């Protein structure tokens, strides 16, 4: 499909350290030229340390759109840089889980993803923030942190999507329950004990295709907060079966609320997992950054429907 006037100048930033990044860079550039994009600026990133500088350079050239290829960690860094700048982000799903791309309904096949980004619509979405740091999908503490520590690049390369259940099973065997106080934006407080996990969702998908809740949306200006209590093994198995659909929020071992902000306080400081990166600690304040980012989604996408 020929590029329209909105995409005559495109910057491409690809994390070649991501699962499929190295092989994808030349393919993306070729697809853009075949589509008739007049100017394509390519920025190759070989490590996470290079990413902020490459993004700043890409934005500085004032392209019509910045296409960013990598996993959710890479896309999250890009979202942090592009938030409230007016620059449009296009997501190239090159990671293991690609949950943000799944939320936006971006095709997983690279040629189809590029075509979607050139022919799609631009929408505004919310970002989540934890003590100021950005997250796209879910920020969490507890079991998910232990999973993240076990979810090494080597395991991802070896098992792909199966790395997530493998890491979860290993983490579950050694998990210690914890207590937390949730101070909600409306002034109410939840005192919870014997918890497995607390999760705060901004988007819809996380963890390799799991769903935050059946009604979660990335533009509803709300956070979906759930806390999973400790139970018997069969309780945890029944919760796990509901993770993909998001109906775990209806389980009697799960506390669920929606709010615009929540402060989480634990007896001792705990790490907070932001889209697979350990980037904050409790006590932590989670907030919605409303309409923070312009992104491209397919014309038929249900990802962002609010005005």
Query: For residue 304, what are the β-bridge partners?
Result: none
Instruction: Provide the token pair at 58.
Output: 């890409």
CA gap 71, 202 in Å, rounded: 17
Q: Per the residue annotation, which of 31, 191, 277, 287 is the catalytic one?
A: 277
Contact 81, 59 (CB under 8 A): yes
Annotated active-site residue 287? The verdict is no
CA gap 304, 292 in Å, rounded: 13
**Distance in Å from the first CA to the final CA of the chain:** 27
Cβ neighbors of 227 (< 8 A, separation 6 or more) are 180, 182, 190, 192, 195, 197, 198, 199, 254, 255
**Nearest of 172, 113, 177 to residue 146 by alpha carbon:** 172
Residue positions annotated with a catalytic role: 277
């Amino acid at each position: 499909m020929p590029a329209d006037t909105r995409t005559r100048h495109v910057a491409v930033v690809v994390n070649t350290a991501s699962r499929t990044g190295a092989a994808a860079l030349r393919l993306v550039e070729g697809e853009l030229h075949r589509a008739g994009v007049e100017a394509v600026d390519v920025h190759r990133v070989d490590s996470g340390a290079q990413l902020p500088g490459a993004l700043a350079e890409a934005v500085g050239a004032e392209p019509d759109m910045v296409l960013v290829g990598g996993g959710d960690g890479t896309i999250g860094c890009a979202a942090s840089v592009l938030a409230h700048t007016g620059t449009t982000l296009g997501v190239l799903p090159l990671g293991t889980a690609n949950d943000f791309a799944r939320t936006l309904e971006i095709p997983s096949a690279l040629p189809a993803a590029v075509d979607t980004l050139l022919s799609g619509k631009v929408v505004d979405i919310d970002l989540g923030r934890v003590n100021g740091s950005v997250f796209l999908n879910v920020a969490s503490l507890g079991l998910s942190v232990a999973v993240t520590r076990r979810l090494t690049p080597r395991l991802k390369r070896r098992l792909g999507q199966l790395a997530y259940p493998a890491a979860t099973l290993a983490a579950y065997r050694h998990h210690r329950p914890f207590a937390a106080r949730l101070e909600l934006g409306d002034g109410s407080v939840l005192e919870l004990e014997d918890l497995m996990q607390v999760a705060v969702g901004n988007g819809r998908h996380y963890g390799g295709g799991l769903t935050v809740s059946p009604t979660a949306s990335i533009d509803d200006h709300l956070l979906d907060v759930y806390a999973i209590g400790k139970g018997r093994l069969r309780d945890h198995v029944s919760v796990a079966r509901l993770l993909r659909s998001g109906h775990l929020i209806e389980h009697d071992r799960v506390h669920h609320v929606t709010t615009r902000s929540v402060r989480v306080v634990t007896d001792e400081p705990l790490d907070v997992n932001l889209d697979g990166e350990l980037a904050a600690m409790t006590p932590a304040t989670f907030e919605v950054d409303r309409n923070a980012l312009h992104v491209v989604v397919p014309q038929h996408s249900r990802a962002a429907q609010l005005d």
